[in-house]
Every structure is written in C-alpha cells, then in structure tokens.
C-alpha cells in the first residue's frame, strides 16, 4: 500500500528575521495544509531548504512536524545525502522521531554509477524499517539519473523501497518506467506542471511546491482524476500553469517563499546562498497569485 495517494506538500521551512527556524509559523503552515486537504507533508526536502540546515536543525524540524501533524496525515522526511553514512544517520534519526516514511534523493556531486546508486539506496533502506521513496532529480544532482531499470530493481529487491518522486521532466522515461514496473513502483510527480500527465501513466500523486500556496487546488487536481473527472483535473492543471511558471521563475524555493510572504505565511527569509526574488519576477508572481484567486 502506498505511503500516500494524492497531493503531498513539499513544505517550506519558515525562518525568523534572524534566520532561525520559526516553529510557530511552521505549525500554522501545517494547519493551513491540513485544512486545505493536503494528503501528506514532505518535510526537509529541497523546498524545505534542508541543504542549509545543520543536522541538528534538520532533525528538530522533522520532529516538530511529526508533533504538529499528530498522525492526521503521513509525514515523509527528506533524509538524503551525497554521503551514504550521513543518509543512514539522518534516516535512522528521522525514524526515531516518528516519521512515517522517507524521501531519499540521488547522491549529488559524487556522480555515482547505477551500481553505486543501487548500493547507496539499498544500504540506506536496510538501516531502517520505514518505507522509502527515491527522489530522482538530475537537475540538482550533477545530471545523475536513476534509470527506470534501476528504480524497478530497487523496488522489487528491497522490501521497503516503494516508489519514486520523478522530477526528471522526461515523460518518455516515466512511460518506460511504468511499462517495466507493473504494480511494483509508486510514482509521484516532482513537477507541478506534469501532475496530470504522470497520473495518467499510473502515478499515485504529486510532491508539490504549488501546494504550499494552493493546497486545496492541488489536492482537488489529484482527487478529481482519481474520481474519474479527468476534465476537471485537467482544467485545474492548465489553469495553474501560469502560477506554476511564476513559482519556478527562479530557483526553488525562492519564489514560493516570496509567495508565502505575500500571503502572510512567512517572513520570506532565505538562507544563503539563496537570495531574495528579483522585483520583476516577484511582480509577475503576485499578479498570477491574484489571477489564481489566492491573494
């Protein structure tokens, strides 16, 4: 059984003006997500600026998320690293802190071979009992791509590796993956502009940036598809495209934090090397948020 089905939010980590974690706002944002029908919280991923958190902060944020959610929906913790031992450490600690599942990104910088990827993910999986979703995002990992054959082998050979978040943008590769996978791989879209296409190939849902600002619409996009209202699902997908484009006009999570700032959901503060959104891009983002009805 899939860890979740539908719209999971790749939730941001709000910071105070002094760049410490704003746990009070974090709790409010989680409540906003649950009220909007979000089906899962994915914490300390790319959008959560995990790469700028210390290990202690990283685990504290996971623990706080688990506490605030209080088992109402699944909490999936990002615990990947380019160092296998670090990924094992973070994964074990996230399990201790009550996460329901793990999202483990392809090792970055090292440029592992497919053999290295299999060994890395297998070692992480064998260190915990939690179900694991692989995270395939070549644009952030030096172009390293988990090939369909590797994903299927991992999901079939390692009991607690259950699926993949695909952020390759390569629909042909996803189609090949699902043709090989049968029922053995839970597929989640990692790109908000490709939710409906991946659902049509057998996807279980999305791990979404858009959901930070539009949880109900993102949830409904998935639910309508599952309910057989393909036209309704497609309508939300297409209507959301200009906003999605604005949310990715600069590197994630710069725009989504600006969007949350405009909504009063965070200060908009980012940790370096991320910088504030360029004014011309922020103006377009605000316009598209108004058009979409969230401002």
Q: Which residues are catalytic?
A: 135, 165
Element (H, E) at 232: helix 230-247
Give 209's DSSP letter.
S
Whether the CB-CB separation of 132 and 124 falls below 8 Å is answered with yes
Opening angle at CA 212, ends 210 and 218, nearest 5: 50
**Closest to 43 measured CA to CA, from 89, 88, 74:** 74
Whether the CB-CB separation of 260 and 49 falls below 8 Å is answered with no
- The alpha carbon of residue 24 and the mean position of all alpha carbons in its chain are separated, in whole angstroms, by 22
Give 2's DSSP letter.
-
**Closest to 256 measured CA to CA, from 8, 49, 62, 12:** 12
Q: Measured on CA atoms in the order 198, 171, 192, 230, is the torsion positive or negative?
A: negative
Report the C-alpha gap between 253 and 247 in whole angstroms.
8
Report the C-alpha gap between 288 and 284 in whole angstroms.
6
Whether the CB-CB separation of 185 and 2 falls below 8 Å is answered with no
């Amino acid at each position: 059984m899939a860890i979740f089905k539908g719209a999971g939010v790749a939730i941001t980590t709000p910071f105070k003006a002094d760049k410490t974690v704003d746990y009070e706002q974090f709790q409010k944002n989680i409540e906003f997500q649950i009220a909007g029908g979000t089906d899962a919280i994915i914490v300390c991923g790319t959008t959560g600026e995990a790469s700028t958190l210390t290990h202690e902060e990283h685990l504290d944020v996971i623990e706080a998320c688990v506490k605030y959610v209080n088992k109402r929906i699944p909490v999936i913790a990002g615990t990947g690293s380019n160092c296998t031992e670090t990924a094992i450490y973070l994964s074990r600690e996230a399990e201790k802190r009550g996460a329901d599942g793990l999202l483990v990104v392809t090792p970055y910088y090292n440029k592992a071979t497919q053999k290295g990827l299999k060994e890395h993910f297998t070692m992480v999986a064998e260190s915990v009992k939690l179900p694991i979703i692989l995270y395939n995002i070549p644009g952030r990992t030096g172009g390293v791509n988990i090939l369909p054959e590797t994903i299927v082998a991992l999901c079939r050979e390692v009991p607690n590796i259950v699926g993949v978040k695909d952020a390759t943008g390569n629909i042909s590769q996803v189609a090949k993956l699902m043709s090989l996978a049968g029922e053995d791989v839970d597929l989640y879209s990692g790109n908000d502009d490709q939710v409906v296409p991946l659902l049509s190939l057998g996807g279980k849902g999305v791990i979404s940036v858009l959901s930070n600002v539009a949880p109900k619409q993102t949830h409904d996009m998935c639910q309508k598809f599952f309910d057989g209202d393909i036209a309704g699902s497609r309508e939300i997908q297409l209507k959301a495209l200009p906003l999605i484009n604005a949310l990715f006009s600069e590197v994630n999570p710069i725009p989504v934090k600006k969007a949350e700032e405009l909504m009063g959901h965070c200060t908009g503060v980012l940790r370096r090397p991320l910088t504030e959104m360029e004014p011309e891009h922020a103006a377009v983002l605000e316009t598209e948020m108004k058009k979409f009805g969230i401002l």
